[in-house]
């Protein structure tokens, strides 16, 4: 009897290992924060229009907005070539939050969902949090994370340049 219990415990453990091996890849997360010396409503005016990213993100050459049914989608032409298509999935002026998903593009990610959220530090300073969940595609987890984090931090630099210099 003891030997049989031992075998079933081994079988259960082996089953658990096989189940884990077959499980889908865990979602990666990236979360970057920055403060911008501008009131929250001023920063929100740069973030909220879905195609405004073309005005402040240094990697974006231009943005073309289109409606697909009741959904907003944007085609981003990247400086140096390449294009990204994204879909707006949520917008809340009350929460100063924008959500979107990646439809296609050269980024080393899949199942990418992102949120940009603003919060007031004080009347003249805004904290921006840009976060996402995704899986790596054609790159290591570390490289995928590094690429996405770099997009966010260069975006913060672009927003600062636009808002803090008074352009």
- CATH classification of the domain holding 161: 3.30.530.20
Contacts of 42 (CB under 8 A, 6+ apart): 126, 163
Q: Is 104 helix (H, G, I), strand (E, B) or coil?
A: strand
The per-residue pLDDT for 64 is 97
Rounded Cα distance between 63 and 32, Å, is 23
pLDDT of 11 strictly over 70: no
Question: 3 in a domain, yes or no?
Answer: no
φ, ψ dihedrals at 19, nearest 5°? -65, -45
Question: 75 in a domain, yes or no?
Answer: no
Domain range spanning residue 133? 31-48+88-165
Question: 23 in a domain, yes or no?
Answer: no
Span 18-27, average pLDDT = 56
- CA distances in angstroms from 102 to 25, 72, 83, 99, 114, listed in the order given: 18, 12, 11, 10, 8
pLDDT of 9 strictly over 80: no
Question: 44 in a domain, yes or no?
Answer: yes
Neighbours of 25 (CB within 10 A): 11
Band (pLDDT 50/70/90 cuts) for residue 8 is low
Rounded Cα distance between 140 and 106, Å, is 15
Question: 65 in a domain, yes or no?
Answer: no
Q: Which helix (H) or strand (E) holds 57?
A: none
53 exposure class (CB count in 10 Å sphere: 0-12, 13-18, 19+): buried
Span 137-165, average pLDDT = 96
Q: Are 95 and 82 in contact (CB under 8 A)?
A: no
Task: Give how many domains the chain has, as a whole number.
Answer: 1
φ, ψ dihedrals at 106, nearest 5°? -85, 0
Question: Distance between terminal CA atoms of the chain?
Answer: 80
Band (pLDDT 50/70/90 cuts) for residue 12 is very low
- CA distances in angstroms from 13 to 5, 18, 20, 38, 118, listed in the order given: 12, 9, 11, 56, 46
Mean pLDDT of the chain: 89
Question: 16 in a domain, yes or no?
Answer: no
Report for 1-10, 15-24, 88-97: range of highest mean pLDDT: 88-97
Does the model's pTM come out above 0.95? Answer: no
Question: 57 in a domain, yes or no?
Answer: no
pLDDT in tens, 39-91: 999 999 999 999 999 999 999 999 999 998 889 999 999 999 999 999 999 99
The per-residue pLDDT for 166 is 58
Question: 104 in a domain, yes or no?
Answer: yes
The larger pLDDT score, comparing residue 25 to residue 156, is at: 156
């Amino acid at each position: 009897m003891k030997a049989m219990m031992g075998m079933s415990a081994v079988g259960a453990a082996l089953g658990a290992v096989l189940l884990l091996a077959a499980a889908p890849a865990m979602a990666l997360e990236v979360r970057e924060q920055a403060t911008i010396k501008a009131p929250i409503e001023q920063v929100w005016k740069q973030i909220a229009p879905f195609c405004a990213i073309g005005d402040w993100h240094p990697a974006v050459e231009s943005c073309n907005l289109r409606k697909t049914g009741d959904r907003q989608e944007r085609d981003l032409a990247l400086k140096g070539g390449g294009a990204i298509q994204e879909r707006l999935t949520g917008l809340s002026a009350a929460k100063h939050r924008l959500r979107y998903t990646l439809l296609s593009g050269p980024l080393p990610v899949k199942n990418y969902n992102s949120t940009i959220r603003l919060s007031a530090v004080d009347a003249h300073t805004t904290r921006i949090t840009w976060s996402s969940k995704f899986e790596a595609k054609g790159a290591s987890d570390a490289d995928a994370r590094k690429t996405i984090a770099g997009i966010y931090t260069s975006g913060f630099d672009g927003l600062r340049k636009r808002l803090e210099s008074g352009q």
